[in-house]
Amino acid sequence: MALIVHKYGGTSMGSIERIQNVARRVAKWHAAGHKVVVVPSAMSGETNRLLGLAREISAQADPRELDMIAATGEQVSVGLLAIALKSIGTDAVSYAGWQVPVRTDRAYTKARILSIDDAKVRADLDARRVVIITGFQGIDDLGNITTLGRGGSDTSAVAVAAALGADECLIYTDVDGVYTTDPRVVPEARRLEKVTFEEMLEMASLGSKVLQIRSVEFAGKYKVKTRVLSSLTPPDLPLGIEASSGTLITFEEDENMEQAVISGIAFNRDEAKITVTKVPDRPGIAFQILGPVAEANIDVDMIIQNQSVDGMTDFSFTVHRNEYQRAMDVLNNKVKPAINAGDVIGDPKIAKVSVVGIGMRSHVGLASLMFRTLSEEGINIQMISTSEIKISVVIEDKYMELAVRALHKAFGLDQSGDVPAVA
Amino acid sequence: MALIVHKYGGTSMGSIERIQNVARRVAKWHAAGHKVVVVPSAMSGETNRLLGLAREISAQADPRELDMIAATGEQVSVGLLAIALKSIGTDAVSYAGWQVPVRTDRAYTKARILSIDDAKVRADLDARRVVIITGFQGIDDLGNITTLGRGGSDTSAVAVAAALGADECLIYTDVDGVYTTDPRVVPEARRLEKVTFEEMLEMASLGSKVLQIRSVEFAGKYKVKTRVLSSLTPPDLPLGIEASSGTLITFEEDENMEQAVISGIAFNRDEAKITVTKVPDRPGIAFQILGPVAEANIDVDMIIQNQSVDGMTDFSFTVHRNEYQRAMDVLNNKVKPAINAGDVIGDPKIAKVSVVGIGMRSHVGLASLMFRTLSEEGINIQMISTSEIKISVVIEDKYMELAVRALHKAFGLDQSGDVPAVA
């Protein structure tokens, strides 16, 4: 019998009926003899409602107080799920993060988990109780409630699984696994039975919304066997079928039986591109440009600096589209005069498309296949950035879907696809 | 400068605008140099909404889990109020009951406060912060969240005031004080500037809903100077006027400057009357009747047993109207056959009307004035019960308002009233 952690998102917990379905699913695993820990999110919409109340009062609300308010959403969820489990004869107990306790740093609204005490949870599991722990939150060394930021319940679940040495962490969600790309864009997209932790990390960081990126980091760091699977199947689906459904995130390359060179195509329209022109090419110039941007708490993603011509270069980078205007202001008002640069040119109408795959390590020619495919579709590449297992390009946003479909086919990811024509 | 505890009910916290008004009022007291602790309730309707979710799942929900869920309402309130105070420049910090901590017994959904740790609160007050503490809840020795039951925020506020040795506990509510009776029934009802703790206790226990009865007990036990006042006055009402408004609950009779014999007329329609007829008059018979009722968790209020005739007597008592049918079933099925009594006669259409006053201790003839007044209105008295400072009668419910108005006038409580014609 195994120790299993289940995580359910806000949609799965979105109504009393759905909570009762979650209870039936959890009870099925418990009845099969497994020790089960459940980490649910707040009911869908609840976190937004709570933070909306706070924002009505103040746009600059104290983060500690925001966490005090936001943490209540999950506390209601765990209580309701415990009641639902007990009402169908499965013993259960709920804990808020501070009761376990889940210890975090003091970074309110975006705290990081430091440690999880497993004594209480183990005692309950040994007494054959289902243990339900609030996602998204913990307690800092001052005794204040903290939250982990949006999507933090995924991280909570993986962290709990790591602390307990769970056999598997099942992330139940409204999709039935990780796909080669978004099936809404490419109908031929295939579900991956397995994906490596590193590929998942790139996919998550590139905007594939299946799992919060920090949860993937956690899974990798502590080697937590994590499975993404559907919460929309019937709760009484036979356990053997459910246990092997979805997508398993693995940690060893040889476990990756599909042996695909490329696992998926990730994409997003969340970014904007900014170019500072006529930058004097001297030591420290990157810091002089990006320092003030970082000070303004704006995250920078891709960064490109070309070979200089005549001691001048153009310096480009991307930021989240929500922070585009603020970044432009910082650059025009602070950076440009300070370094005596040329114009600052911005473009929010871009998309980032990436091919991701652990096989890149051992295969060459993938970049040229990518560039050739885009070229054949008449799509101009504006920026390129690569890592060991991904290649990202920035293109005009209106070509995004076209690019994704073409690349999905070219890399042989279609369900009917041929083996890709690479070495 | 004084240490003052403010308590605000759900209506006062019922919207963002109202929370902002509470913040302005609290800030006014803080700006005057006082140390201020605030105990707010959940936003109106919130506790019902939360418990409604739980009830949708199960009518017999685990009380520990109900407390886990219900306690979140106040946690949201304290966070919002802290944000509202900070947004107008008044430093503030919020605490859930478990953070203070407010220690209680393990009686989930109706816990009692055992102790309150004041160290953290005092440190914040010394740092000139307003401290906001969730009403209605605490933590037991197992680390579980407990709630105090409906109206528990009044008790929390008074208990916090007692623990801190506060100079005064101000209960802000939607009425502007304690009245001689309900102004909706008797327009001539007067607000009392002062009322003794014992009178308040009788009024509360007799159905006057201004303060939860346990909060009055707490105020009495720890001699907490408590004032009931309106939260509907403008938040910027001059502090001197606000501080002397409402009704002060006092602990020494000589403080009661009004020197009234009777302080008020309390009444309710919450009870039902039950009579077990032809009861053999022998030792232990009261226990044989009321034992099974108590076992069924039904509270009994007034109890009357008359002198027996021919070794038989009639035994009457009242129960809450919600428990009338259950009580009748217990009596007919268990008690009647066991003691070989006559018929069990029930009547839910009754009202209880009481005159309350500390002056009863030193005045005679009050009972006869009460009975004469009711007689002159043609109202038949069905049951009578007395304590040191109150006389209660049970009458047919349709006469309730008439009885209250007549007694209010007869005892000289009308605003234009004469001194009552008693010794």
- For chain B, percent of residues with pLDDT exceeding 70: 95
Query: Taking a contact as any Cβ pair under 8 Å apart, which residues of chain A between 350 and 409 contact chain B?
Result: none
For B147, how many CA atoms within 13 A lie in the half-sphere containing its CB? 26
Q: What is the pLDDT of residues B318-372, one digit of tens each?
A: 999 989 999 999 999 999 999 999 999 999 999 999 999 887 777 777 888 898 9
* Nearest by CB: A62 against B53, B64, B82: B82
Q: pLDDT grade, residue B257 (50/70/90)?
A: very low
Q: Work out the average pLDDT over B34-52.
A: 96
Put simply, whether B69 touches A (Cβ < 8 Å) is: yes
Residues of B in contact with A82 (CB under 8 A): 62, 65, 68
How many CB atoms sit inside 10 A of residue B306's CB? 10
Query: Which pLDDT belongs to residue A422?
Result: 39
pLDDT at B159 over 90: yes
pLDDT in tens, B46-100: 999 999 999 999 999 999 999 999 999 999 999 999 999 999 999 999 999 999 9
Task: Measure A55 CA to nearest chain B CA, in Å.
Answer: 9
Question: A419: pLDDT confidence band, cut at 50, 70 and 90?
Answer: very low
Comparing A416 with B10, the larger pLDDT belongs to B10
**Tokens standing for B183?**
């102004």
Closest by Cα among A22, A83, A86, A10 to A47: A10
A143 vs B80: CB contact, 8 Å cut-off?
no
Residue type at B215 in one-letter notation = S
CATH number for the domain harbouring residue A124: 3.40.1160.10
Yes or no: say if A159 and A379 are a contact pair by the CB < 8 Å rule.
no
List Cα–Cα distances, A7 to A23, A236, A400, in angstroms.
12, 17, 32
Q: What is the DSSP letter of B14?
A: S
> What is the pLDDT at residue A253?
58
Indicate whether B423 belongs to any domain. no
For residues B265 and B241, membership in a common domain is answered with: no
**End-of-domain residue from the set B238, B254, B270:** B254
Instruction: Provide the pLDDT confidence category of residue B417 given band limits of 50, 70 and 90.
Output: very low
Annotated binding site of A: 7-10, 47, 74, 173-174, 179, 184, 209-210
Looking at residue A257, its pLDDT comes to 47
What domain range is B398 assigned to?
A: 260-417
Question: How confident is the model over A344-371, as pLDDT tens digits?
Answer: 999 999 999 999 988 777 777 788 889 8
pLDDT band at A262 (very low <50, low <70, confident <90, very high): confident
Candidates B53, B56, B68: best to mutate against A (most CBs of A within 10 A) is: B68
Model confidence at A51: pLDDT above 60: yes
More confident residue, B52 or A296: B52
Amino acid B36: pLDDT: 98
A189 has a pLDDT exceeding 50: yes
Is residue B248 included in any domain, yes or no? yes
Domain stop point among B254, B288, B304: B254
Residue A423 inside a domain? The answer is no
From chain B, the residues in CB contact with A101 under 8 A are none
| Residue B81 resides in a domain | yes
| Residue A422 resides in a domain | no
Task: Give me the pLDDT at residue B158, please.
Answer: 95
Query: Is A423's pLDDT higher than 80?
Result: no
Q: What confidence score (pLDDT) does residue A260 get?
A: 64
Mean pLDDT confidence for B185-211: 83
- CA–CA dist B51, B329 (Å, integer): 29
Does residue A194 sit in the same domain as residue A238? yes
Q: From CA B111, how far away is CA B41, in angstroms rounded?
A: 16
Q: Is there a single domain that holds both residue B323 and residue B345?
A: yes
Note whether B84 contacts A: Cβ–Cβ < 8 A: yes
pLDDT in tens, B392-415: 999 999 999 999 999 999 998 886
Nearest CA-CA distance, residue B143 and chain A, Å: 7
- Do B145 and A68 count as a contact with CB atoms less than 8 A apart? no
Q: Indicate whether A108 pLDDT > 50.
A: yes
> Does B345 contact A at CB distance below 8 Å?
no
pLDDT digits (tens, 9 = 90+) for A218-231: 888 899 999 999 99
Question: What number is the ipTM of this complex?
Answer: 0.80
pLDDT tier at A309, thresholds 50, 70, 90: confident
Residue A69, φ and ψ in degrees, nearest 5: -75, -50
Cβ separation of A62 and B71 shorter than 8 Å? no
pLDDT grade, residue A100 (50/70/90)? very high
What burial letters (b/e) apply to B361-377, b meaning 16+ CB within 10 Å?
eeeeebeebbeebbeee
- Residue B1 has what pLDDT? 84
Residue B261 pLDDT greater than 80, yes or no: no
* CATH number of domain containing B333: 3.30.2130.10
Could you tell me if B135 and B28 lie in one domain?
Answer: yes
pTM for this entry: 0.82
Specify whether B244 is located in the same domain as B101: yes
pLDDT band at B13 (very low <50, low <70, confident <90, very high): very high
**Quick one: average pLDDT of A277-281?**
87
Q: How many CA atoms lie within 13 A of B65 on its CB side?
A: 30
Specify whether B237 is located in the same domain as B212.
Answer: yes
**Cα–Cα distance measured from residue A81 to residue B172, given in angstroms and rounded to the nearest whole number:** 36
Residue B151: its pLDDT value, please? 74
Residue A135 — very low, low, confident or very high, per pLDDT cuts 50/70/90? very high
Which of B104-108, B141-145, B196-200, B386-390 has the weakest average pLDDT?
B386-390
Q: Do B83 and A62 touch (CB under 8 A)?
A: yes
Instruction: Please indicate whether, in this complex, the C-beta atoms of B19 and A82 are within 8 angstroms of each other.
Output: no
Q: Are residues A113 and A200 in the same domain?
A: yes
In terms of domains, do A248 and A265 share one?
A: no
| pLDDT of A209 above 90 | no
Tell me, rounded to whole angstroms, the distance of Cα A409 from its chain centroid.
25
Q: Is residue A308 part of a domain?
A: yes
Tell me, yes or no, whether B320 and B306 share the same domain. yes
**Which residue among A60, A72, A83 places its CB closest to the CB of B65?**
A83
Give residue A208's pLDDT.
Answer: 65
pLDDT of residue A24 exceeding 80, the answer is yes
In this structure, are A348 and A208 located in the same domain?
Answer: no
Tell me if A95 is assigned to some domain: yes
Chain B hits for A71, CB-CB cut-off 8 Å, are 75
Query: Do B235 and B187 belong together in one domain?
Result: yes
The rounded Cα B353 to chain-centroid distance in angstroms is 17
pLDDT at A255 over 80: no
- Residue B6 has what pLDDT? 98
Instruction: Please say whether the beta carbons of A135 and A156 come within 8 A.
Output: yes
Stretch B144-168: mean pLDDT: 93
What are B231-241's pLDDT values in tens digits? 999 999 999 99
C-alpha dihedral (A237, A238, A241, A246), degrees to nearest 10: 30
My answer on whether B181 and B316 are in the same domain is no
Which among B153, B146, B76, B96 has a CA at the least distance from the CA of A72? B76
Domain count, chain B: 2
In a domain, B422, yes or no: no
- Of B228, B254, B280, which closes a domain? B254
**B31/B43 Cα distance (integer angstroms):** 26
